[in-house]
Each structure stands twice: as C-alpha cells, then as structure tokens.
Structure 1
Amino acid sequence: MRPQPVTKAASVERLEAEPVNAAHNRKPLYEKRRKIFPKRAEGRFRRFKWLVMLVTLSIYYLTPWIRWDRGAHAPDQAVLVDLAARRFYFFFIEIWPQEFFFVAGLLVMAGFGLFLVTTAVGRAWCGYTCPQTVWVDLFLVVERFIEGDRNARMRLDAGPWTLDKIWKRVVKHATWLLIGIATGGAWIFYFADAPSLLKSFVMLEAPAVAYMTVAILTATTYVFGGLMREQVCTYMCPWPRIQAAMLDENSLVVTYNDWRGEPRSRHAKKAAAAGEVVGDCVDCNACVAVCPMGIDIRDGQQLECITCALCIDACDGVMDKLGRERGLIAYATLSDYASNMALATNNGTTAIDPTRVRDADGAFVDKVRHFNWRIIFRPRVLLYFGVWALVGIGLLYALVSRDRLELNVLHDRNPQFVLESDGSVRNGYMVKLLNMIPEQRTIMLTLDGMRSATMRIAGQAPGDGRRFAVGVDPDKVTALKVFVTLPKEKLAEADEGFILTAEDPSSHERDAYQANFNRPGAAR
C-alpha cells in the first residue's frame, strides 16, 4: 500500500507535540532558529510569573515618574542618574562621583546574590526575573491576543499569506515596536527630569543622544524579545554554561520524576488490564507544548531550560484530570531524585516499577515537592550568603557614617612658591569644599601648624589670618584660591608643614588635609 502524502496542515498538527530542542540530539553551536509556539499554561507558577512580570515592568516604567522633594537646590526626581551634575539620586540617598564604591558594592552584591539564588533554587533568575524572560512573556501576551494560542499560531505561520495573516502580523509587529519604544523611552527618563525630557522629546528638542538611545533600545527589545527569543538564552547568554558550577546535588531544579512516570503509556487502562506495569506519564506532551524554550523536560536537565516551571503547571493539570497525584514534574533536588530512583529500582535492575514507591494507602512514599531545609543550610549557600551579607553591612555602615563635607587641596605646581620683596615665602593652593547636602552652609576654614604662617583667600574677606568663615552653596563644590605666607625669619617652620581644616560648627562635621609648604633650598 502506497503511503499517503502528508499535507502542510497535517505536518503542523504533527509537530505540535515534538520538542524543538532535544537533549538526545545535540545541535551545533549555532543553527537557524526554529520557531517555538508555546501554549499558554495555567497554574500556580504561571500566576507567579504574571505577578513578577507586573511588578518588574511597573518598577521599570513608573520609577522615573516618582517625585521626591529635595528642596530648591536639587532635582525632585526620586531616582535619577544626573550625568551633567555627576550625581546619582535614589530617594533620600545622594551619591557623588568619589562615592562610586557604593555602586561597585551593589554590583558585587548582585553577583553574589545571583550565585546564591542559583545554588539554592537553580535558574530562578532566568525563569522569573531576567529582563529577557519578562519582555518575552510580554511579547507572547501580545502574540496570543492577536494570533491566538499555540495551534492557531502554528496554522497561521504555516498557512499562505492571506489578508488576515498580513493584518495580524502587521499589528503584532507594530505593537512589539511600540513596546520597544516605551522601553527605550523609559530608560532615558532615568538620566534627566522625566516630565521635562518627555516634553522636549515630543517637541523634537531633546539632545540627539536621547533619540539614539531610544532607537537602539527599541531595536534590541524588538529583536531580542520578538525575533530571537530563545536564541538569546541559548547562544548569547553565558549563564546557562556557568550555572553548572553553581549547582550541586541539593540544588532545586525542575525535574521529571521518571521513577514514577516510566514506562509511559497513552493507554494506561488497557495496559493495566493486560497486567502490564505502566507509569503515570500518559505521553501527552503537555509539558513540551507550554515550554517557551521548546524542550522536553523528560529528557533530563538541559542547557536551554530556564526553570520557569510552566511544565509543572501543565503536568499538574493533566494529573488533576486523570485523578492522580501532582508532582510527576516538580521542583526537586538530585539527592531526592536519586533516593526515589533507589526505591523504585526492582531488584537492582533498571526496570522501574512505580508501585514500589507507594504506601498502603496508595500515596507516594517520598513527595519530592516538600521543602527540604538542606537547600538552605549547606556550606556553599551559607558562604555565598555570608559574603553577600558582609558586603551589604559594609555598604550600609559606610552610608550611615559618611560625612557630607569634604575638603580637597591641590598645591600649585607652577610656581611651587613665590619669594616676596620682604623675603617671606608664599605658596598657593586650590582648595575645594564639597557641601554634599542641599542646604547653604558656613564652613570655618582653619590653618593649623606653622604658628607664624598666615592665610589669605582670594575673593573672600580682605586681610590675612588663620581662620575664615566661608559660605558654600548647597549640593555643590566651592572652589577657593588660598595663599599661605611664611615670614623670612620663620622659614624653618616650613619643614613641619601645616593642616588645613574645614568644619561646620552647626553639625560638627569636619575634614582635614595635611599639606606641604615649599621654600627655597628645601629638598622636594
């Protein structure tokens, strides 16, 4: 009998249940993308992903519009990276350029936090909070709304270019581009006053760099979230290849419990009636249909798996319909999996008998979805948490104890000293007073040491002295030209140098600088 030709529509239906990425058939380092049409999942993990997407996108898009009153001398945007003024504002915290170690410390905390989360619960970052995952979820919402769920999208993609297909594709891609524009637009608002920048942006009066930034982020969001999707996670992101070093036998990962599911059978009732041993997996491929990476979790852990747990929701839904216990696919540790495999092994052979893992009431002996405290209380997790907490405590202490007044002194290089007509020697210094609060202050600048020396500040009070009151502007650097003069008969005092001190009498904040005084004939 001659085989019947397979139509294009029939081939689409047949591909519904086939994984695009298969663990037993490793692909080359890079290959042409095969489109994945994930089915919408329903369940507790999908609801959690909706919540994470709502929270993260709300934070990203709305944060620049939060106002924070800092007075008349500072911007009132709660979160702002002010490149022109070289400031970073985060609600009540203001970071100056010399305090960049706070940003570096936060990056260190983020790195160890990622190590900590991965060691404890696998690729939870990738599955729930990674920007790529969040925006792909958003793009999939748009795609499903316009083109329908999995089967409808597959038929549309395989079908001819009709007016309906063209219309849906144009609307979908236009919506993706609008999301990309909103993404880039939200990003630039972190670097300037959002309401003012929005007005100038719409009026085409914004700086060119603003339009370039929006264009670049629009393109990357559209391409990565809409056209490349899983390619970004598989080929561009290094984390799938690094995560293996973070995992051990007590790390939580999404696991297919083949000790319970094998051997699979689509006809479990007939097999049971015939006396055959079958597992709980009915080979429905629901786990494959919902996977955004197009893998079959039953093949074991794979590089493409982002641990989003949607396959757990799909499988639990099938188990509910069949009246069987949930957890055929679950978050589990390799240690628990090995223990269950040992229980399910029949007389030391590799044949799996699920009935061996049930108690007298028919319930499974070891429910791997139960929380295991070994996940947290183990050396690697505690080490990462300790480093993370130590860096955080150090940053918090530095933030609380930091002074908001700084003094910087730079000696004139040319000339290094001036010999006056009466034989006295004068040195010049550029003094900068950093007032790091949004309030006008009066700072007392004092010369300590070299008892015979006097100080004069250009443009300030006339005359020489050893102590001057200097008004400094709020949240700014006040630059002063200071001259220190030592009489001819007291030049020997120059060897000890002097200390320039800046102090705020009201807050008792002070900073000091040990300075050198140059004179003729002294070794320098």
Structure 2
Amino acid sequence: MNDETIITGPLYAGRKKVYPQATHGTFRSIKWALLVFTLGVYYLLPFVRWDRGPNLPNQAVLIDMPHRRFYFFFIELWPQEVYYFTGLLILAAMTLFLMNAVAGRIWCGYLCWQTVWTDLFYAVERWVEGDRRDRIMKDKKGWTLPHIREVATKHFLWLMIAWWTGGAWVLYFNDAPTLVWQLLTFKAPAIAYTWIAILTFTTYVFAGHLREQTCIYICPWPRIQAAMTDEWALNVAYERDRGEPRMSVKKAAHARDKGEKVGDCIDCQQCIAVCPTGVDIRKGSQLGCIQCGLCIDACDNVMKEIGRPPHLIYYDNDINVERRANGLAPVYRPIRPRTLIYPAMIALVGSVMLYQLTTRSNLGVNVLHDRNPLAVTTADGGVRNGYTVRLLNKQPNDRKIDLSVDGAPGLKLDIVGEGTGSSVTVGPDQTLELRVLVSAPLGTVPAKAVPVTFTAQDNPGAAKVTKASASDHFFPE
C-alpha cells in the first residue's frame, strides 16, 4: 500500500491586506514632488493657451477629432502623419528600457500612473482614517459609527478625484473652458459624460481597491523588466553582510559585550510597514518590489535614531551584493553598452522626427496616371496623357494653387473643368481631386516613357511660396 499525502486547506494563501505606513525622507520627498508635478500637468494642461492665429484653436494641447488634428504647443500633426506617433512609441520604449538599465523599476516606483494615483489615494486615506496603526485597529474593531463615517468620507473623496481624472481627460478633446461650462450646465455631448463615467470607474477601482495587486498580477512590465535587466542595474537592496545577524538594540549591546558578531538590522520591520506592496526587501529582489525607495527612508530614520550608519537598505547592483558578502569593495558601471545604445537610439529617432517635422509641407500633391489608355494621339499629331491629381490643403483657409509639370520639353498642362487654366482654389483643410491632361505637341513627343514631376505651388509670385511635388511618367504613343 502506497503512502498518500492528504492536503487540507486552500492551495494558495489568501490576500493579506496591506496597510502602508507614512514615512519621510529623501525618496518620499522625491515622490511627493513628482506626484505634484505629474498630476499638476495632467489636470491643468488643458487650460494652457497657445496662440496659433486665426481659424485655429488656442488650446496648447488638443486632440481635435472633428478636424482630425493633434496640437501640441507649436506642433500640429495630421492623420496621415501617424508615423510620428510610431516614433513617439519607440522613444517611450527606449526611455523605459534606459531607465530599467540604470535603476531597474524606477518608472514603476516614481512615474507610473498607477503608482501616482494610488499614492494620492493613500494620502487621502491617511488623512481621513489615520496612519497604519490607526487603520489596523479600526478594521479590527469593526463597523462603528465613526469608522463608517470616515470610510464614507474617504470613498467620497476618492470618487471626486476619480471623477476629475475622467473629466480632465475629456478636456484634451475639446476647448477646456467651453467644455467645463457645458459639463456643469449638462449641455455637453453624451460621449463626454460616457468617458468621464468610464474613467471615473477605472481610476476608483485601480487606485482605490486593486492598488498593489495591479503591479503584481496585472501589469506585464515587472516580468518584462526582469528579463531585460542585468547585474549592473541599481535596485533597492539590503546589505545582508552588514545587517545580519538581526537582533534588538538591547540584545545587540549584550552580544557586543561578549564579542559576538552583531548586525545593524534590529528587525523593527519598518521597511515592510512602509512598503506599498508589503514586500520584505531583506529577502532579496522580488516581483512585488517597485523600487520606490520608501524602505530606504524608513530604515535610514531608524538607523539615525539608534546611532548607526545609514543606507543599510539602498540602491545597489547585484554584483556589489555578492562582492560585499566576500569582503570586496563595491564597483559600479553606469556606462556600459546598453546605457549607450538606448540613448543613441533615442537621439537617432528623435533627430529623424525633428527633421521630418521641420521640413514637412502643409501642401500635398498625389498623382495617378490613367491605366487605359496610357496615351492618346491628338488631332495635331501630338500625344496626351491623363492623370488624376489630388491636392491637399492642410491650412484652415482657402488657398490658390498653381499646378505645373516638367521633365520633358514642350509639355502643356490643363485641368479639366477649368478651361485651359492650371490654377485652382482648394478650401480650408480639404482635399481636391482633379482630372489633369498633359500634352506634348508634335515634334516634342519623347521616343520613350520619361519621368515627369508635377509641382503644386501656393500663392504664385508671392514672397513666401509653399511647394509640393509628385512624380509619374509621360508615355509616348
């Protein structure tokens, strides 16, 4: 008879509620500064004005869906310029990779929107219900009337923050002051209320309830980051060789009197208490650690109180963790191939985007040659080719466009429906499709197909002229 092991109880441990404790120090101050800056930009940027001239919106950052435009201060992007957004995604990815190469999950700890909004929600929770110990005691006592009042107040404030988060988002899609007034008077489009409701719900759920679970179980970046990092990247680490063996201050004093080895860690567990994900950094790098540095501040405060050197927990690389265990001096390599390649790629993509942005034209032309027939013989013995030409006016005003063709001697261009003229007016922010005939008189017909260039010119004869061109071929009979 084979022995059988009977497993009783759940296979997985239940979720333990995390009660992050407030702390102060260098990294907490950095997080507060970044929180104020990032949220200030998000909430206030729609109200910043930028004068672009007549017939153009004066909101600095605006996604103008009706006119298919994206405005960012002096930059204006059109739908056909989707490659700029591709470039921005590449820049964002390379920046994230660079941050990972330098200091691990520093993005997660300081700049990720989940971290920023959760930090804000934690601040509201502490303000209303008290710090870690107060919240634990109130939860143990159960639902008393004062506790119910505090919890209701907290959730109301959370919903207000979430509501304004959703409200600020829709302001990027319309003139902010106008839309705010429409929202307050219930005259805004239904789509605005719909998106505010969606983003209110998601912000409230993710920042108020899911919290650290988002970082551990939902976000894919921790797993991607773990595969991309190396042993030289700085991560929050516990100096085990200095901290062990752990013991209280009183026991440490007795141990020193006996000549025994004593570590600096007094096992106060303040590093765990302040961690937003409840990680014990003394157990080494873990998936739940978002590298926020709050445990560093908490530990440094304790070390200061007991008169021991700071930085028992600090940003360090895996190489030094091993070197210190072997009694060797720490070494750092901030400059290495990956910290050079990523900035080089950022500079390259950024330069290409900047060049394209500064050299682009707000006038476009496209040419398509008739497929059948390729050429027609005219009554005077010449040859005529037919083309479909599309002119694109990317400005908010009417523009007179002169169309010309060159590439072979004697070519003559006529726009069908415009008599014998070669000029048309294109409306603001419009595309105009034209039927164009190009003729070569007898004696100037090329012996074989030759490339020709169509040039669209804005304001012919003016001091400032905008040109755009497109090429095709002229075919003989």
**Please, what TM-score do these two structures have when normalized by structure 2?**
0.88
Letter in 2 for 1:483: V
Partner of 1:500: 454
Match of 1:299 in 2: 283
Number of residue pairs matched? 461
> 1:381 corresponds to which letter in structure 2?
T
Q: In the TM superposition, what whole-angstrom CA distance separates every residue of 1:376-396 from its partner, at most 9, and x where no partner exists? A: x11121122222221112212
Query: Of 322, 325, 332, which aligns to 2:316?
Result: 332
| Matching of residues 92-491 of structure 1 within 5 Å | 92-266=74-248, 267-343=251-327, 374-375=333-334, 377-410=335-368, 429-437=387-395, 441-448=399-406, 449=408, 451=410, 453-456=412-415, 458=417, 463-465=419-421, 468-473=422-427, 476-484=429-437, 486=439
Shift of 1:336: 1.9
Give the Cα–Cα distance (whole angstroms) in 2 for the partners of residues 393 and 498 of structure 1: 32
Q: 2:468 aligns with which of 511, 521, 524?
A: 511
**Partner secondary structure for residue 374 of structure 1:** coil
Q: Structure 1 pair 165/95, CA: closer, same or farther in 2 (3 Å)?
A: same
Structure 1 residue 498, shift from structure 2 partner: 4.5
**Shift in Å at residue 424 of structure 1?**
9.2
User: Structure 1 residue 34 and structure 2 residue 32: aligned?
Assistant: no
Residue 246 of structure 1, CA deviation: 2.3
**1:38 CA displacement:** 0.4
1:258-305 per-position Cα deviation (integer Å, ceiling 9, x unaligned) = 110100001211222233221100111110110000011000000000
Q: Does residue 63 in structure 1 map to residue 20 in structure 2?
A: no
Instruction: Describe the superposition over 1:350-404 as per-residue Cα deviations: whole angstroms up to 9, x where unpaired.
Output: xxxxxxxxxxxxxxxx5x6xxx6612x1112112222222111221222222223
Question: Are residues 202 and 258 of structure 1, via their aligned partners in 2, closer, same or farther at CA, if it must alter by over 3 Å?
Answer: same
Q: Deviations over 1:70-90 (max 9, x none)?
A: 112211111111122111111
Name the aligned partner's letter for residue 293 of structure 1.
Answer: T
3-state DSSP class of the match of 2:326? helix
Measure the CA separation in 2 of the matches of 1:411 and 1:82. 34
**C-alpha distance in 2 between matches for 1:490 and 1:174:** 85
Q: Structure 1 residues 440, 261: closer, same or farther in 2, change over 3 A?
A: same
Look up the equivalent residue of 1:374 and give its one-letter code: R
CA RMSD of aligned residues (A): 2.9
Q: Residue type matched to 1:502 in 2? A: A
Task: Specify whether residues 175 and 502 from structure 1 end up closer, same or farther in structure 2 by C-alpha distance, changes over 3 A only.
Answer: same
Q: Percent identity?
A: 48
Judged with a 3 Å threshold, the aligned counterparts in structure 2 of structure 1 residues 206 and 147 are, in CA distance, closer, same or farther, namely same
Name the SS for the 2:263 alignment partner.
coil
Aligned mates of 1:264, 1:242 — CA distance in 2? 34
- Quote how far apart the aligned CAs of 1:187 are: 0.8
* Residue ranges of structure 2 left out of the alignment (5+ in a row): 1-9
Q: In structure 1, what residue type is equivalent to 2:456?
A: A
* C-alpha deviation, 1:34, in angstroms: 2.3
Cα distance in 1 between the residues matched to 2:13 and 2:91: 36
